[in-house]
Amino acid sequence: MIGYLKSLFKSNAMQTSNEFDICMDGNVGGLNILIYTENVNATYFISFDIPLREMHQRGEVNFAVVSQNLAARKGVGYWKHWDAQFEPELVVMTRYGQPFGTQILDHYKSKKIPVVYHIDDNLLEVPDSLGVEIKKRQGAQDVIDARRYQLGNCDLIYASTPYLAGLLGNLFTNQAIYHGMYAPYMGDRVNADRQPRPWQTVGYMGSKGHQKDLDLVVPALERLLEERPQLRFEVFGTIQMPKRLERFGERVRSHSVNKAYSEFLSVLAGLSWDIGLAPLANEEFNLCKAPTKFIEYTAAGIPVIASDIPVYSSIIPDGGGVLVGEDWYGALNNCLDIPGFWKSSVDVAQMYCAENFSINRLEQQLLSVFEEVTKH
């Protein structure tokens, strides 16, 4: 995985200038796609960069990327310069809010260049459970108003899940809405070796906005760490170690996130966790989410124990993971004692994900989106 993705991303420095965050061009006859993104982050890489680079290598597309930060630095009206320089035939706005979200959309609409708005959360209703910082940034009224305008006036809404598509369909009854898979399965490109350890490790991978979700499992983890002296618990990402677990000292550990998504899955695989947790509070904001943790844990060779809500129950195959209602202690205690649980669960999950979440399928999905919005 590391070698493949380093080669995939190493050209960024050469093909990125002050004009764009990323620019991959040079394909004569390739479809020119200009992407305005909230951030050049995991959502952007998962949804667009990974499949588009494959398509670029085959000469099918050219693409350039502008982040909100770059738009803020360049200032009012600079989108006209990007338009003239790159000459897009299609514009994608992914989670884009401010600055200038409405003006950018209006510019391309006035030129009859089709605009797709991509969204992977219900960003029109940001819950307090995500934390003060995220609520302030994502829930600011001007940001919500800009996104609402873009969703209502783009040529196609591209939603990450069927549930989110249904919710947006009720809000924007006259809009065309497309939904499909979200995260691609990249297990065949993970090369990190699983290192045997003299203890078992349970882990959670996630961002700081998921503290409430992780809290669902904390009482069970606390009890298990008390009962099993050899058990370890780790977190990976911007999520904070729950304070109730800090008393276990060196038996609990936090791993900071590697900001480059190109390294993410290999680092995760190298942690050699025996179980990966995917708790998710059963509330509407979370019901819009994709089963990304299941796909990424599976790619990293980590068996999954997940909340028994539709996000996971509709995806995880029989034998490919464990679904939990409320008894996290019972599920974890049982799985830690089952001989061969790790291998049998991972084998089933990897076969399922390879068939249903391949990069090729994501490429075909993007082509369907592009064809849908450019055919009129």
Question: Would you state the pLDDT for residue 11?
Answer: 40
Cα(219)–Cα(351) distance, integer angstroms: 33
154 touches 177 (CB < 8 A): no
Same fold, 2-181+358-374 and 187-356: yes
Cα(230)–Cα(127) distance, integer angstroms: 37
Domain at 2-181+358-374: CATH architecture:
3-Layer(aba) Sandwich (3.40)
HSE at residue 367, side-chain half, CA atoms within 13 A, is 13
Residue 119: strand pairing partners: 159
Cα(372)–Cα(180) distance, integer angstroms: 13
Question: Would you state the pLDDT for residue 51?
Answer: 97
Question: Residue 25 — pLDDT band, cuts 50, 70, 90?
Answer: very high
Report percent pLDDT > 70 for the chain.
93
Class at the top of the CATH hierarchy for domain 187-356: alpha beta
Q: Evaluate the CA torsion angle 350, 354, 356, 359 in order and state its sign.
A: positive
**Per-residue model confidence as pLDDT tens digits over 142-188:** 999 999 999 999 999 999 999 999 999 999 999 999 999 999 999 98
Q: Can you give the residue ranges of every domain in the chain?
A: 2-181+358-374, 187-356
Report percent pLDDT > 90 for the chain.
82
**Per-residue model confidence as pLDDT tens digits over 54-86:** 999 999 999 999 999 999 999 999 999 999 999
pLDDT exceeds cutoff 90 at 259: no
CA distances from 79 to 73, 93, 354 (A): 12, 13, 39
* Threshold 0.85, pTM exceeds: yes
Residue 155 is encoded by which pair of tokens?
A: 């040529």
> What integer best gives the mean pLDDT of the chain?
92
Question: Would you state the pLDDT for residue 132?
Answer: 84
**Per-residue model confidence as pLDDT tens digits over 198-249:** 899 999 999 888 999 999 999 999 999 999 999 999 999 999 999 999 999 9
CA dihedral defined by 122, 350, 10, 46, rounded to 10 degrees?
-10
**Per-residue model confidence as pLDDT tens digits over 329-351:** 999 999 999 988 889 999 999 99
